[in-house]
Amino acid sequence: MCTCITYQNKDFYFGRNLDIDCSFGEQVVVTPRDFPLEFRKAGTQTRHYAMIGMASANESFPLYAEAVNEKGLCMAGLNFPGNAFYQKAEGEGIELASFELIAWILGKCSSVKEAERYLTDMTVVDLAFSLQMPPAPLHWMLADKERCLVLEAVREGLKVYENPFGVLTNNPPFEYHKMNMNNYLNLSSGHPENRFAKGLELKTYAQGMGAVGLPGDASSASRFVRASFLKWNSVSPEDEDSSVSQFFHILDGVAMVRGSVVTEAGTYDITTYSCCVNTRTGTYYYKTYDDSRIRKVDLGGEHLEGSALCFFH
């Protein structure tokens, strides 16, 4: 269970909550331009765009949950069980495993428009990173300051959707979320008027009643609506500190509190970490469930050149 958002203030920001019941060895990882990205079926990128994001700590390949490259192109993978379907590798077109998709696109492409050219020839194939790490069922949000797409690998193939909301959560598929948003078109951040009946004197008795009906549960559909409402009604000064603070406040509005969501296995989903990246500067901000201080790592300087992954705790 996760929530990903974009946010345009003066600069363009991208980030997410990663909601999970256990750690996956996550660390902030910088992939420099000369680290060889070796793909199972799609060759090797020996020189590519540098990128930064949260990944599983593995020195052979950056297993990104989300990342942004030096050109400001961003991508995140979110849980999509029951709907994600990965094809058998046939040796045709661009075949990528689910764990390779973020690194391949961000390594090669500088914009959504450029990435879009490859998507029609792309197949997500059923390959595991290792015996201990089977393919995760995912869908993805791909964004830059101009456009936002959703990528869903389903039984029919790779489907690509324009995403006007700049928000993505989990199941159901994106087409459902897009339709479901129409159920909430009457919500408002403003002071509501009585539209129930002209003959009844109905009055508000508290602030915030324009958004009565905004869902507050932790389900994917509800988080999609709530994150969209908070994002699109957000007001913030345009300086960096204010923008980053506002971004994390939006994510806090859809975060998981330990004990509020119990999985079928009896474990607790929590927001393991929240992150925000300024796509112009490459500054990656993050906080964890047990440490609400916002820390940052910059993509730049000595990190851009090199041939080894850089890990930051």
Sign of CA dihedral 11, 179, 116, 56: positive
- DSSP one-letter code for 13: E
Residue 293 has which token pair?
């201080």
Residue 195 CB: number of other CB atoms within 10 A? 8
d(C-alpha 32, C-alpha 300), whole Å: 9
Enzyme catalytic residues = 2
3-class DSSP string for 113-142: HHHHHHHCCEEEECCCCECCECCCCEEEEE
The Cβ-side half-sphere exposure at 134, using a 13 Å CA radius, reads 3
| Ramachandran sector of residue 82 (left: φ over 0; alpha: ψ -120 to 50; beta: rest) | left
Per the listing, tokens 């927001």 go with 271
Token pair recorded at residue 188 = 């408002």
Residue/partner pairs of 202-207 with CB below 8 Å, 24 or more apart: none
